[in-house]
Structure 1
Amino acid sequence: MNYPIPASPEEVVALKQKSIDEELIAAAIAGVIQISRSEGKSLEQLTEEVLADDCLLDKQQRRWLKEIVAQAWESIA
């Protein structure tokens, strides 16, 4: 992977400065998962945040992202 996994919320936000591609998205998801775990959050809490209404993603996109996050949560040790 060309991008290091972010270790802090600030590093996740800093990814906005990079060109978006699949590897960047994967690194961001992995970083969010690791940060959430370090904060003691469960998968359920993280997916609730993913499903929360926002102006960036529509309902279908949020559900799709929830599934991707859940799969990544299980595969990242």
Structure 2
Amino acid sequence: MNYPIPNSPEQIFDLRQAPVDEELVAAAIAGVIKIVRAQGQSLEELTAQVLADDLVLDKQQRRWLSQVVAQAWDSL
């Protein structure tokens, strides 16, 4: 992978400077999972955050992303 897994929210925000591709998205998801686990949160808490309404993703996209996050959670 071309991108290291971020260790902090700041490092995730720094990824915005890179062109978006599959590896960047994978690194961002892995970083979020790493940070959430370090904070003692559960997959259920993270999933609830992903599924919460926002202005970026529609409901179907949030459901898809929550499934991807759950698969990544089990893999990491």
TM-score class, shorter-chain normalisation, is: over 0.9
Letter of the structure 2 residue corresponding to residue 60 of structure 1: Q
Query: Which residue number corresponds to residue 73 of structure 1?
Result: 73
Q: CA deviation at 1:55?
A: 0.5
**Correspondence list, 1:10-25, <5 A:** 10-25=10-25
Root-mean-square deviation (CA), in Å?
Answer: 0.3
Q: 2-side partners of 1:33 and 1:65: how far apart?
A: 13
TM-score (norm 1): 0.98
Q: Which runs of 4+ in 1 moved over 2 A?
A: none
- Residue identity over aligned pairs, in percent, reads 67
Query: Which residue number corresponds to residue 34 of structure 1?
Result: 34
Query: Which residue number corresponds to residue 63 of structure 1?
Result: 63
5+ residue gaps, structure 1, are: none
5+ residue gaps, structure 2, are: none
Question: What number of residue pairs does the alignment pair up?
Answer: 76
Q: 2-side partners of 1:51 and 1:69: how far apart?
A: 11
Q: CA deviation at 1:24?
A: 0.1
